[in-house]
A and B are shown apart, each in its own frame.
Chain A
Amino acid sequence: DAGITQSPRYKITETGRQVTLMCHQTWSHSYMFWYRQDLGHGLRLIYYSAAADITDKGEVPDGYVVSRSKTENFPLTLESATRSQTSVYFCASSASYEQYFGPGTRLTVT
């Protein structure tokens, strides 16, 4: 019973590189979310998905791309990483309102 997992847990990349963060949930929840957590800003929503092939922007979507071809997966891609995207990224899933979070990915862009 894995629940919701994220990979990698830690990633260091260089400015300008493309990087993809993976999120996988085993509950068949319809909703999935990506957040970033930064000191002084708390958690901010990047993108969310209400179902497979349905995605929408959150509060801070610029510089990020998402897809959801399968219900259980919701990858987040930084097409050209910038230092301002150094953060801790959390994925979450939900059947309706209550959200359940993955362990997070700490991304450093040098």
Chain B
Amino acid sequence: GIQVEQSPPDLILQEGANSTLRCNFSDSVNNLQWFHQNPWGQLINLFYIPSGTKQNGRLSATTVATERYSLLYISSSQTTDSGVYFCAVERMNRDDKIIFGKGTRLHILP
């Protein structure tokens, strides 16, 4: 099946800093999503982005489908950005259904 690798596994930043999270995948996809799991466990859909670039406030994401990676940018980090960020992908033929990466744990220090 498709492999999904996220980096870095852990990241500690000071409030106000910018960060870039990466998701590499091993096959062509027609579905790529970024999720944030907050410290209380709730999973929030951030972006559906199988290709191209999207922005939502301080967050933006870019997927380069031909090179099989996606980046999530967080600017001017706030403590509420803490949590785990997951990338999830689904292959073109949808046989595997959606596969999640193991996540990047982000801790923003006040």
The bracket for how many chain A residues form the interface is 20 to 34
Neighbouring A residues of B98 by C-beta, 8 Å = 33, 45, 99
B52 to chain A, nearest CB (A): 14
Is the Cβ of B103 less than 8 Å from the Cβ of A90?
A: no
A74 to chain B, nearest CB (A): 15
Assess whether B33 is in contact with A99, with CB atoms less than 8 Å apart: yes
Mask, A30-66, CB within 8 Å of B = 1, is: 0001010000111111001000000000110000000
Task: Quote the shortest CB–CB distance from B44 to chain A (angstroms).
Answer: 8
Q: B48 and A42: CB pair below 8 A?
A: no
In the complex, the answer to whether B33 meets A97 with C-beta atoms within 8 Å is: yes
Chain B contact residues (Cβ within 8 angstroms of A): what range?
Answer: 20 to 34
The answer to whether B43 and A90 have CB atoms under 8 Å apart is yes
> If the complex has contacts A42-B86, A97-B33, A97-B48, are A103 and B41 also in contact, measured as CB distance less than 8 A?
yes
Interface string of B18-49 (1 = CB under 8 A from A): 00000000000011010100000111110010
Select A101's contact among B42, B48, B97, B99, beta carbons within 8 Å.
B42
Judge whether A42 and B43 touch: CB under 8 Å: no
Contact residues of A between 86 and 110, Cβ < 8 Å to B: 88, 90, 92, 97-101, 103-104
Q: Could you tell me the distance between the alpha carbons of A42 and B42 in the complex, rounded to whole angstroms? A: 14
Say how far B59's CB is from chain A's closest CB, in angstroms. 15
8 contacts between A and B (CB under 8 A): A42-B101, A45-B98, A97-B31, A99-B33, A99-B98, A101-B35, A101-B43, A104-B41
Contacts A40-B102, A101-B45 aside, 17 further interface pairs with beta carbons under 8 A come to: A42-B101, A42-B103, A43-B88, A43-B100, A45-B98, A45-B99, A48-B97, A59-B97, A59-B99, A97-B30, A97-B48, A97-B90, A98-B48, A99-B88, A100-B45, A101-B35, A104-B43
Q: Which B residues have a C-beta under 8 Å from some C-beta of A?
A: 30-31, 33, 35, 41-45, 48, 50, 86, 88, 90, 97-103
